[in-house]
């Protein structure tokens, strides 16, 4: 088991595969490093060092009572990079993890980072407010927290429908994938699972995005029912100068499964470029 210490005395679990230039994979909510297994294996087999980690509160990392905010998540990435003495890093963030990597750049700068990839990201600001009318109504997130509090296990099982798009014609997600996803989700603490909903819905990343100064790849499905493309991918791409924006036609949120080979190849080409 590989772990690194954090500045506040906690520990973060890592999968660290391969050798070469590092690619650090940040997971989505409420999952772990294992969600990235296909992409990490592919990049490690093609000359890169693939590093995935469990966000604090989930999986094999520490599960403290508090600290589930994006400044802390960004500091955890900084501690990973520092403890492993990484440089020339490609940061990859999925969904909630898009916020982690963007806040890392806004808070710690790009000295150790050469590239950024955002996959189905929640950026730039998910919740609808007076100055963010394209966002999602706050009642949606209150409903998520209410469902988790009432029956987390069943809520997450039902959530898979929209996450993988199994309510769409032609969906072919295996029972094994659905089971593995729930196994990962159930390893998180309920407190972390709830607090992260507040974090990813209420955090405004617009200032962080304005400061991005590294080549950026944005990938989003145009049938994403979890982080709708119009409120997220489209706006993020418009805000990052010279970014590469790839839209996967008919794709849901969980691209790392539903489009795993295409995503793996796109990430490899970007990291190599």
**What residues act catalytically?**
95, 224, 253
Kindly report the number of other CB atoms within 10 A of residue 65's CB atom.
Answer: 10
Comparing CA positions, the residue from 242, 240, 269, 251 lying closest to residue 102 is: 240
CA distance linking residue 103 with residue 70, whole number of Å: 7
CA distance linking residue 147 with residue 153, whole number of Å: 9
Comparing CA positions, the residue from 16, 13, 97 lying closest to residue 60 is: 13
The 8-class DSSP code of residue 11 comes to E
Write a three-state SS string for 215-259: CEEEEEECCCCCCCHHHCHHHHHHHCCCCEEEEECCCCCCHHHHC
CA distance linking residue 52 with residue 124, whole number of Å: 23
**Contact by Cβ (8 Å): 121, 98:** yes
CA distance linking residue 262 with residue 112, whole number of Å: 27
């Amino acid at each position: 088991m590989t772990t690194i210490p954090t500045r506040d005395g906690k520990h973060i679990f890592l999968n660290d595969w391969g050798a070469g230039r590092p690619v650090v994979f940040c997971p989505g909510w409420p999952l772990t490093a294992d969600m990235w297994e296909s992409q990490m294996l592919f990049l490690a087999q093609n000359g890169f060092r693939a590093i995935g980690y469990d966000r604090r509160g989930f999986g094999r990392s520490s599960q403290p009572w508090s600290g589930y905010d994006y400044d802390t998540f960004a500091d955890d990435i900084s501690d990973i990079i520092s403890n492993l003495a990484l440089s020339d890093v490609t940061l990859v963030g999925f969904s909630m993890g898009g916020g982690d990597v963007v806040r890392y750049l806004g808070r710690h700068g790009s000295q150790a980072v050469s590239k950024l990839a955002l996959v189905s990201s929640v950026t730039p600001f998910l919740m609808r407010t007076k100055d963010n009318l394209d966002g999602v109504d706050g009642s949606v997130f209150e409903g998520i927290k209410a469902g988790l509090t009432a029956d987390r296990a069943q809520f997450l099982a039902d959530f898979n429908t929209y996450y993988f798009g199994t309510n769409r014609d032609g969906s072919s997600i295996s029972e094994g994938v659905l089971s593995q996803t729930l196994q990962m989700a159930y390893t998180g603490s309920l407190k972390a699972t709830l607090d992260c909903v507040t974090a990813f819905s209420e955090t405004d990343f617009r200032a962080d995005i304005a400061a991005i100064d590294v080549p950026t790849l944005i990938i989003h499905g145009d049938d994403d029912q979890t982080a709708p493309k119009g409120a997220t991918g489209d706006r993020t791409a418009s805000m990052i100068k010279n970014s590469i924006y790839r839209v996967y036609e008919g794709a849901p949120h969980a691209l790392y499964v539903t489009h795993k080979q295409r995503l793996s190849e796109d990430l490899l080409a970007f990291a190599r470029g």
